[in-house]
């Protein structure tokens, strides 16, 4: 494993475990994250509690995991540790991805979200618009089916 990832993976997974409610079954395992990062198409970004890129040995407050293919960036995961929420870190993380996508001459960012997730406010505030729905796409740990909504932002 790359040296930077060896240090970052535990920090990212600490946020993963604290941020996602088990009911929804949305959190990825360490193995899933590691496997995704084996391809150069996927990348992550860790933000500090102060809203900056994390320094070595600093705790991460949130992260994004994303994948870019042919000019399109997919936001795979966005998470902020509950103790650091509603301080603008989630919006900063998405803005960082928007800027990075723009720098790489990307044309669109999209994401899939569980219908009813309050994160929708954050995405809409940043200009994302709903472009599609997948009925019964998600399955909760209790077996309930929930629709997915796809949001997109042209760059």
| Catalytic residue IDs | 112, 123
Assess contact for 131 and 121: CB atoms under 8 A: no
Q: Which residues pair with 152 in a beta bridge?
A: 110, 129
Q: Taking Cα atoms as reference points, which of 96, 70, 93, 79 lies closest to residue 33? A: 79
> Is 32 among the residues that bind ligand COA (CB under 6 A)?
no
Joined together, the tokens standing for residue 26 give 């949305």
* Contacting range for ligand COA; rule: CB under 6 A; set: 43-51, 110-118, 127-135, 140-148: 110-118
Site string for ligand COA, 57-86 (x = CB under 6 A): ---------------------xxx----xx
Q: Give the chain's length.
A: 155
Contact with ligand COA (CB under 6 A) among 9, 12, 13, 19:
19
User: Of 13 and 113, which has the nearer Cβ to ligand COA?
Assistant: 113
User: Of 91 and 146, which has the nearer Cβ to ligand COA?
Assistant: 91
Assess contact for 97 and 128: CB atoms under 8 A: no
Using Cβ positions, the residue closest to ligand COA within the complex turns out to be 90
> Is 42 among the residues that bind ligand COA (CB under 6 A)?
no
| Torsion angles phi and psi, residue 39, rounded to 5 | -90, 145
| Torsion angles phi and psi, residue 17, rounded to 5 | -65, -35
> Is 137 among the residues that bind ligand COA (CB under 6 A)?
no
Smallest gap from residue 105 Cβ to ligand COA (A): 25
Distance of CA 116 to the CA centre of its chain: 17
Residues 6+ apart with CB under 8 A from 134: 112, 147, 148, 150
Site string for ligand COA, 83-102 (x = CB under 6 A): --xxxxxxx-----------
Q: Which residues bind ligand COA (CB under 6 A)?
A: 19-20, 78-80, 85-91, 113, 117-119, 121-122, 125
């Amino acid at each position: 494993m790359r040296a930077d990832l060896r240090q970052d993976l535990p920090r990212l997974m600490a946020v993963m475990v604290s941020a996602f409610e088990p009911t929804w079954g949305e959190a990825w395992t360490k193995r899933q994250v590691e496997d995704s990062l084996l391809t150069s198409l996927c990348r992550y970004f860790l933000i500090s509690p102060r809203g900056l890129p994390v320094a070595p040995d600093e705790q991460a407050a949130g992260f994004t995991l994303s994948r870019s293919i042919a000019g399109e960036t997919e936001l795979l995961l966005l998470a902020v540790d509950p103790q650091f929420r509603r301080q603008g870190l989630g919006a900063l993380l998405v803005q960082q991805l928007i800027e990075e996508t723009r720098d790489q001459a990307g044309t669109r960012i999209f994401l899939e979200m569980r219908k009813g997730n309050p994160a929708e406010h954050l995405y809409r505030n940043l200009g994302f618009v709903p472009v599609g729905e997948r009925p019964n796409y998600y399955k909760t740990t209790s077996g309930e089916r929930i629709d997915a909504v796809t949001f997109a932002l042209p760059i």
